[in-house]
Amino acid sequence: MSSSSYSNYTNSPCAACKFLRRKCSSDCVFAPYFPPEEPLKFANVHRIFGASNVSKILHEVAPHQREDAVNSLAYEAEARLKDPVYGCVGAISVLQREVLRLQRELEETNNDLMRYASCLGGETSAYGGRRG
């Protein structure tokens, strides 16, 4: 088995080229981000977004951002497979509601604190007056 034409990172083709059953060249755009140990990662991304779309996205972002881009795509692909209706957007709405809930709770608690603080302000001035 010749390994010279395979990816420059490992001796085996990357998960993408394995999935697509093609030669993994040294300049394969997928190779750094889809290691052969994680075949499901590329499979999910390919199923939802398609290899060509992913390739275009990778070429559009800067090289140092590609890993983050791939990971976010993998996350979204897996989310979409688990929940075909809402995908990762379902989680966003859950979190947004949580933020709103905490916001409300914080406001109520701060109102309580303001009430105590105003009471304290009155008493403190009384004490300060006595001391002075």
The reply to whether 27 sits near other proteins by the rule CB under 8 A is: no
Residues between 93 and 132 that touch other proteins (CB under 8 A): 93-100, 102-103, 105-107, 109-110, 112-114, 116-117, 119-121, 123-124, 127-128
CA angle 125, 129, 132 (to 5 degrees): 135
Contact partners, residue 86, CB within 8 Å, separation at least 6: 93
Do 39 and 54 touch, CB atoms closer than 8 A? no
Closest CB to other proteins among 25 and 86? 86
Closest CB to other proteins among 31 and 74? 74
Total chain residues near other proteins (CB under 8 A): 64
| Cα–Cα distance for residue pair 35/132, rounded to 1 Å | 74
Closest CB to other proteins among 11 and 102? 102
The reply to whether 59 sits near other proteins by the rule CB under 8 A is: no
Phi first, then psi: what are they for 35, rounded to 5°?
-65, 155
Buried residues in 81-119 as b, exposed as e (16+ CB within 10 A): eeeeeebeeeeeeeeeeeeeeeeeeeeeeeeeeeeeeee
Instruction: Find the shortest distance in angstroms from Cβ 54 to other proteins.
Output: 9
Residues forming the site for other proteins (CB under 8 A):
38, 41, 47-50, 52-53, 56-57, 60-61, 65, 67-69, 71-76, 78-100, 102-103, 105-107, 109-110, 112-114, 116-117, 119-121, 123-124, 127-128
